[in-house]
A and B are shown apart, each in its own frame.
Chain A
């Protein structure tokens, strides 16, 4: 399955910005089930410099500086990604969750040792007894690990109300847990906190959903902005992605941008500006389009060409 993704962020400042420094996690990374065919930037005003590096989780990070005075900053990332079919899970065949927990805690395997990032607290997700007891209902004694995780995802989906603007990046996780409402990012954080509170590994995945589903399929929640879900680690098998906002296992409609311990490791865009006045107005537009065979062959983009110049390949 081939997708074309356009992610546009526009900041409108009340006063002129003299200079801005930015970091972007906006070019999709390659994964086992995803290959990046092409990605480019359209940034206005044109950055004086743009440099790519990998962060410690292997994500692609871009650093750029805008050095000319501006009132609006438009950052668009355009990419083309191919999703490969993922293998089907057999939840009942997975080991009991206590065994998984034991493996994570006592491993001597060098690679598995380094996954301990995802067992511990992170800036936005602190383990707690409340989260542990929320998770406990999904993990009775000896339950196969994957069954438990699927159940946890379904419970979050049912227990929590999707409500944009109910939370901000700074809303504490305990409050989200108490109020039972939020957006995809909150649901991912709840799941991550719940799993870590039981001693299981969980990470945050930033990405996209297909905007317009194929005929006959429902439009998924969270499709017109960036999306987020979580993944958990089953040693020997690898990381398993789960989307609690839509209660499904991501496959064929979820494009992965980057992952980290929580949102703060992989915000799509982060910057520091000199000047700019009070809080800028922020506008985000995401288009994720499935390319059919013709479009793929001709390389024709059905998206309207946004009038942005200075593309950087």
Chain B
């Protein structure tokens, strides 16, 4: 690894560290280390270079394992989680932290009151503390929320604030995140990783724990319940796997013990919010929403019909549910407010601000506008929802254009003094280098108190000489260590629990969407495995192009197997349709297409991708072990698809098949036998049944001579992983009749068709249904019973019989009948349990 040499000067990692002038987080101007850094560096300097490099790699690997599977296949670079975790934390001393804490507490108090006022009496506007146009012109000011704020708890139970240091080393506020403060989950994840890697320096420094903060957050959510309830239903609302931050949502939901839902899981009826589950509607009391305001309620706010829940605002208005942070909070994210914070602080609390803000001017104020236009060269200019631009970086013509734009619509612009954050050492592949760091701090509040997370998420940009822009989400993150002077803090220092509490009384119930996705996880996992088994067997057999070694019958058997591949993967023409003969004699291209091409809808790529996506959608239902196995599956598949020739692929195929089997094993071993497991298992069994049917129909309906049959049956037993069972029972005598007995009719063979059907029948009997109706009265129950019975009444002797046309027509009939019934069953199941219709917006007419 080329990075080894760079870390070899490990005796003193910071020997060559030379931060530019200004405040550095690790070193004082005399190069003496700041508090906390001595113990950390002493620890790291004791480690060998390879050990350090290994820690760096482990950090990366753990981060990857935790969350990345879901976006491996997503093409937009936007969706790739670009965080990296640096081993070196941002360290903040206790005394300094206490001051910061006070400042954040005060800030929360002001913002909470401001929100209430802006959507209520609007005293700050009427009295001139804030120019009304500043609020009215901001897209975050939601008029529909006016008069809406009457929560039992606070409106802003959590808050994130971005901070940076000034050249003098004091903190100043860069901005607030209030709609759905993100990053707390990442902060927690970073800490969990460093607990594994740097436990000793964490303990030696008495670094404060994050866990109590999350317990408090959980308690505050509980308290926000609009009615007094022992065990309120609290959910975490996400826009789903397409959200860049979905991993964090799933992670937080899991940790806080909240039910993770999407808009389509919810419905408002009679002005009350409900979650749709397989056994009916359950009322929801508190929603921790990870959506922006505009996505919360398509009826009231959004242009987007497909996110959020129609009627949610009305449910909030009726005080039947608390949505947190309160809808409308976006108005507080208006950076123009920074320039007015002092006045707001005086207005609401009658005290000066304890925490400075970045000097900010709102151009909608004529006096500020004049100043800004005069000083344009020295300011950073920001238009709403546009990237920051530095006046000094612009050419003369561009600066003139900007001047015009500002004057045309001054209220859309703010100007700020450019920030120049403190520097901090970063361990890069090229050694320790200075980066610029900003800190995202978090707080949670109820009516009585504001608690600040003793830690946070630090984001770093490597020093490049250019003005830093932290607007995009990529980059390096750091854990934030808040030092305590008391060893009492660390007595309980241990790996944080995997989750704070189990999802409340919701356990066992399952949303329709989750059931559907688990069903598809089962189907795609099985589909991938089946296709791979067949492919592997084909690759191990002699190639059709090496004609010479094949007797005529052998070639025929091989042709049937290749045809089966096309049929089970549904990739016509392939080895069946037009051009099949040519492809059969030179199958490499078609095989590679099936295995590697993203454009092949029935191919392995598509199956693995669909598996990853479905699994990702139910991330919170899957154990960490399961997730790790899914990661391996995706990783192995990627290795597999790098090969240019199929002859090199068998090894990885076997690895993949084993890993897929491990996935099935985990589901069998580590999932509780609830409805979730039933849907997952049904998906698997439906898919396996379809596979067996297609495979047999493609290969055994035409009858071959003995030699061909032997090759065929041997291959089929291998594909269905039943060779050993068969040999134990029937020795080496290959014949169609015992084969059909084992693969088709034997209910005790877990790889055979019959056992799939009887298992499905058992699952169906356990599904929720109306009243005391027996399961065989439901459409899906009836179909599966019919299928089981069809198979039970079949006679092996007749099935094996070859008719005048040289085909096994009885077998063909039976397989055909069952082959119609199974998709029908799948459809009925979907109809009964998964049904989702997309919603759309209506507009009234006016002329």
Interface residue ranges, A against B (CB under 8 Å): 9, 11, 18-24, 48-49, 51, 53-57, 63, 65, 67, 108, 110-111, 113-114, 116-117, 119-121, 127, 129, 164, 169, 183-185, 206, 222, 225-226, 228, 263, 265, 267-276, 280, 282, 284
Contacts and interface: CB of A to CB of B under 8 A. Distances in A.
Nearest to A109: B126
B299 interface: yes
Contacts of A24: 844
Among B126, B144, B147, B844, the one with the most A-chain Cβ atoms within 10 Å of its Cβ is B844
B137 A263 contact: no
A11 B842 contact: yes
B299 A9 contact: no
B189 interface: no
A265 B143 contact: yes
19 contacts: A23-B299, A53-B147, A54-B147, A55-B144, A57-B143, A65-B270, A65-B271, A113-B132, A114-B132, A116-B132, A169-B843, A222-B847, A225-B846, A228-B846, A267-B844, A268-B844, A270-B841, A270-B844, A284-B845
A184 B847 contact: yes
Nearest first, the 7 A-B pairs at minimum CB distance are A269-B844, A56-B146, A110-B126, A271-B842, A272-B310, A21-B310, A275-B837
B843 A21 contact: no
B847 A63 contact: no
A271 B299 contact: yes
A117 B136 contact: yes
Interface in B794-847: 837-847
Interface stretch (B75-83, B173-181, B209-217, B311-319): B311-319
B300 interface: yes
Interface string B122-157: 100111100011001100000110110000000000
B531 interface: no
A65 B269 contact: yes
B781 to A, nearest CB: 24
A21 B842 CA distance: 10
B305 interface: yes
Chain B's interface size range is: 35 or more
B846 A268 contact: yes
A168 to B, nearest CB: 9
- Which secondary structure characterizes the binding site on chain A? mixed
A248 B409 CA distance: 32
A19 to B, nearest CB: 7
Contact of A225 (B144, B146, B847): B847
Contacts of A185: 846-847
B559 to A, nearest CB: 46
B268 interface: yes
Given A18-B837, A21-B311, A56 B147 contact: yes
A180 to B, nearest CB: 18
Q: Which residue of A51, A116, A268 has the most chain B CB atoms within 10 A of its CB atom?
A: A116
Given A23-B299, A55-B143, A119 B126 contact: no
A284 B844 CA distance: 9
A189 B133 CA distance: 20
B411 interface: yes
A192 to B, nearest CB: 15
Contacts of A19: 267, 269
Nearest to A108: B128
Interface of B: 122, 125-128, 132-133, 136-137, 143-144, 146-147, 267-271, 298-300, 305, 310-311, 314, 317-318, 408-409, 411, 837-847
**Max chain A Cβ within 10 angstroms of own Cβ: one of B126, B318, B411, B847:** B847
A116 B837 contact: no
Contacts, number: 129
Contact of A65 (B132, B311, B837): B311
Nearest to A117: B136
Contacts of B837: 18, 274-275
B840 A273 contact: yes
Contacts of A117: 132, 136
Nearest to A23: B299
* Most-contacted residue by chain B among A9, A53, A111, A184 (CB, 10 A): A53
B125 A113 contact: yes
A211 to B, nearest CB: 14
A270 B299 contact: yes
Q: Which of A24, A56, A108, A114 gathers most chain B CB within 10 Å?
A: A56
Contacts of B411: 120
Nearest to B411: A120
B846 A226 contact: yes
A199 to B, nearest CB: 12
Contacts of B126: 110-111, 113-114
Contacts of B269: 19, 48, 65, 67
A21 B268 contact: yes
B303 to A, nearest CB: 9
A49 B125 contact: no
B411 to A, nearest CB: 7
A258 to B, nearest CB: 12
A59 to B, nearest CB: 11
A49 B270 contact: yes
Contacts of B409: 121, 127
A127 B314 CA distance: 32
A183 B847 contact: yes
Contacts of B144: 55-56
Given A21-B311, A49-B271, A63-B314, A116 B844 contact: no
A251 to B, nearest CB: 22
Contacts of B317: 53
Nearest to B139: A123
B663 to A, nearest CB: 35
Contacts of A116: 132-133, 136
A9 B845 contact: yes
A226 B844 CA distance: 10
User: Which of B147, B298, B299 neighbours the largest number of chain A CB atoms within 10 Å of its CB?
Assistant: B299
A23 B270 contact: no
Q: Interface centre among B270, B310, B317, by most A CB within 10 Å?
A: B310
A80 to B, nearest CB: 22
Contacts of A22: 299, 842
B298 to A, nearest CB: 5
B136 A120 contact: yes
B476 to A, nearest CB: 39
A280 B300 contact: no
B63 to A, nearest CB: 39
Nearest to A16: B837
A114 B300 contact: no
A298 to B, nearest CB: 33
A127 B411 CA distance: 12
A158 B845 CA distance: 25
A24 B408 CA distance: 36
B842 A20 contact: yes
B839 A274 contact: yes
Contacts of A271: 299, 841-842
Nearest to A278: B840
A184 B845 CA distance: 12
Nearest to B146: A56
A267 B136 contact: no
Given A21-B314, A116-B136, A273-B840, 13 more contacts: A21-B311, A48-B270, A54-B147, A56-B144, A57-B143, A63-B311, A65-B269, A113-B132, A116-B133, A121-B137, A225-B846, A226-B846, A284-B846
A233 to B, nearest CB: 14
Contacts of A269: 842-844
B841 A272 contact: yes
Contacts of A51: 271, 314, 318
A73 B643 CA distance: 59
Nearest to A19: B267
B802 to A, nearest CB: 50
Given A53-B317, A113-B128, A272 B847 contact: no
**Residue picked from B146, B267, B269, B845, most chain A C-beta under 10 Å:** B845
Nearest to A48: B270
B218 to A, nearest CB: 31
B521 to A, nearest CB: 26
